[in-house]
């Protein structure tokens, strides 16, 4: 299997990661010790920079897990409102508890259920809405086989200047070298992720940058003429 980052280089980068506050640092340690999926430290660094540059006010997150990234968004942007979606019963109660334990959770709208069903509801509600009601930042970090569906739904409820960021685009390097038992177990995700990347490249109305930071990120913006 091809590593996305040399291990020593990753450890060096991670060693310079500085959490937003002690609360997030403790939450990251707890999630890592429990094996809970969360954004990598390097990914958080990139997201932090993007958020500082764009200052979004309405963030949509697809894939909540235990709520680390939603809380990161809320802490980083004290005036922002975050809508986050998850259906995993093993995650929901933990995320609810994390949100309830912090004042930032008051600005997090946690929607539980099938992501596409909830996105369809949001499209129905917001498709004809004013720009001020739509999302200006979207973070996609859920079922890897459905990134295209998530993206196509999200773009219907985004502002024209929104950024859409997709995590885990490189799938631990399997996107270029799908060998070993683990890769075989994820062959469907690998297939659809490759198709999603090609789909982004074919669209001439967006600008999509594929970065190797973390486990790979696609950063997408709309070209407004």
Does pTM top 0.75 for this prediction? yes
pLDDT, position 214 = 84
Cβ-proximal residues to 210 (8 Å cutoff; 6+ apart), any chain: 169, 197, 216, 217, 218
Residue carrying structure tokens 């996107």: 175
CA dist 50 and 55 (Å) reads 8
Grouping H, G, I as helix, E, B as strand and the rest as coil, residue 196 is helix
Q: Give the pairing type, strands 135-140 and 58-62.
A: parallel
Quote the crossing angle between the two packed helices 147-154 and 187-202, to the nearest 10°. Answer: 40
pLDDT, position 127 = 79
> What's 104-161 look like in SS3?
HHHHEEEEECCHHHHHHHHHHHHCCCCHHHCEEEEEECCCHHHHHHHHHHHHHHEEEE
CA dist 82 and 169 (Å) reads 23
Task: Report the number of distinct structural domains present in the chain.
Answer: 1
Please report whether residue 201 resides in a domain: yes
Please report whether residue 77 resides in a domain: yes
Please report whether residue 20 resides in a domain: yes
pLDDT, position 178 = 63
Give per-10-residue mean pLDDT for the chain (225 aa): 60 78 94 92 94 98 97 98 95 96 97 97 91 96 95 96 96 74 76 95 96 92 88
pLDDT, position 172 = 82
**Residue 31 tokens, joined:** 């999630």
DSSP for 11-59 reads HHHHHT---SSHHHHHHHHHHHHHT-----HHHHHHHHHHHHHH--SEE
Containing structural domain, residue 26: 7-222
Please report whether residue 2 resides in a domain: no
Please report whether residue 65 resides in a domain: yes
Say which CATH number the domain at 129 has.
3.40.50.150
pLDDT, position 180 = 64
CA dist 93 and 136 (Å) reads 28
pLDDT, position 2 = 42
pLDDT, position 188 = 86
Please report whether residue 1 resides in a domain: no
């Amino acid at each position: 299997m091809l590593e996305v980052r040399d291990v020593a280089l990753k450890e060096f980068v991670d060693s310079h990661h500085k959490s937003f506050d002690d609360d997030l640092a403790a939450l990251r340690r707890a999630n890592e010790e429990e094996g809970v999926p969360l954004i990598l430290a390097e990914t958080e660094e990139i997201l932090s920079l993007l958020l500082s540059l764009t200052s979004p006010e309405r963030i949509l997150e697809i894939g909540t897990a235990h709520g680390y990234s939603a809380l990161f968004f809320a802490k980083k942007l004290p005036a922002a409102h975050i809508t986050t979606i998850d259906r995993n019963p093993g995650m929901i109660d933990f995320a609810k508890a994390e949100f309830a334990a912090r004042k930032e959770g008051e600005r997090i709208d946690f929607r539980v259920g099938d992501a596409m069903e909830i996105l369809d509801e949001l499209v129905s509600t917001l498709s004809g809405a004013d720009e001020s009601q739509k999302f200006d930042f979207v973070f996609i970090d859920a079922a890897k086989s459905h990134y295209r569906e998530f993206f196509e739904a999200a773009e219907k409820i985004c502002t024209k200047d929104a950024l859409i960021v997709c995590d885990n685009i490189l799938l631990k390097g399997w996107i270029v070298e799908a060998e070993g038992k683990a890769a075989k177990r994820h062959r469907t995700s690998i297939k659809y992720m490759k198709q999603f990347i090609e789909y982004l490249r074919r669209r001439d109305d967006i600008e999509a940058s594929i970065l190797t930071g973390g486990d790979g990120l696609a950063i997408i913006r709309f070209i407004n003429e």
